[in-house]
Amino acid sequence: MDTACKRIKGVFFEETTITLGTGHTKKTQRVKNYCLAEQLDDEIVQVSYLGNEGQPTGIVIKMSYDEFMNKYTFEPDFKVKTKEERETDKHIALAEKHRSRKEFNSAEWEYHSALRIDPDSIRANFGVGTLYMEMGQTDKARDVFRKLSQVEAIFEEENKHIFNEFGIELRKANMTEEALANYMKAIEISPTDENLYFNVARLYYDRKDWANALKWIERSLSINPNSRDARQFESIIRKEMLEQGSPGGRNAQDDDLSLRRSSPKLS
């Protein structure tokens, strides 16, 4: 067999639609079915299907090159999870199920089971931290959030949705300085995310620092001028400034100077 023919090799997926439920609860959902594919010759591609955890299922079929290309899409970032990662995911999934049922003690136990396997798990740390907030145990939540802020992986681009939520939870826990530090680091990684600037403005607003709140909401609007929420928030801030008769709030100049030193240069 001519090795030059081996062009397809790697993980691919086929996206299909499945139906869940019946009657008024019936709904459809798009799912991805993964496989390990290898082109055997000019005409044939061998497909080895993978399970939910990325492990081979043992099901192997062969199909024509044209059929394969019509059905499957290359997935360059697919990662097969280790046994430890699968166990961690299992405990987190159980924790979230218990949490949805308000079974808080069982949820806490499952989160901690996940953390015993992977102490730096972002999902498990964030999960148990927000669980403590939900349970009213703010001191425990603060301890978890402080630990989580030291896990560098939370600020990777792929975890963008988490570090934004993380900043919000820090603010709710009255950890204002930690929340600001989180947002500054997040902005370095994702400088075009207007939501991060919006949330910094919200932090300053809560501190009644109208001048800095206005500066940061304007930065949010410079990224997305069509944001209705940001426009409304800008109006609220300007109203507060007029009512207070002051162009700035408490320690506005000092606070903004420290933030400018740690934040990316913005136009």
Q: Give residue-wise pLDDT tens across range 126-145.
A: 999 999 999 999 899 989 98
Confidence of residue 25 (pLDDT cuts 50, 70, 90): low
pLDDT level of residue 252 (50, 70, 90 thresholds): very low
Per the listing, tokens 């995310």 go with: 193
| Residue 116 confidence (pLDDT) | 95
Confidence of residue 6 (pLDDT cuts 50, 70, 90): low
**Does the pLDDT of residue 3 top 70, yes or no?**
no
Cα(92)–Cα(89) distance, rounded to whole angstroms?
5
Q: Tokens 């009644």 — which residue?
A: 208
Query: Which tokens belong to 57?
Result: 């299922």
Distance of CA 255 to the CA centre of its chain: 28
DSSP secondary structure, 87-114, as one string: HHHHHHHHHHHHHHTT-HHHHHHHHHHH
Is the CB of residue 35 less than 8 Å from the CB of residue 50?
Answer: yes
Looking at every residue in the chain, the average pLDDT score rounds to: 83
pLDDT at 24: 65
> How many residues are there in the chain?
267
Higher-scoring residue by pLDDT: 34, 17: 34
Tens of pLDDT, residue by residue over 48-61, are 998 876 778 899 99
- Domains, the chain, with CATH or none: 3-74 (no CATH), 82-191 (1.25.40.10), 205-248 (no CATH)
Cα 5 to chain centroid, rounded = 40
pLDDT per residue as tens digits for the range 167-194: 888 888 888 888 898 888 889 888 999 9
- Rg over CA atoms, the chain: 24
pLDDT bucket at 250, cuts 50 / 70 / 90:
very low
pLDDT band at 111 (very low <50, low <70, confident <90, very high): very high
Phi-psi region of 166 (alpha: psi -120 to 50; beta: other; left: phi over 0): alpha
Higher confidence at residue 51 or residue 23? 51
Q: Tokens at residue 114, please?
A: 């996940």
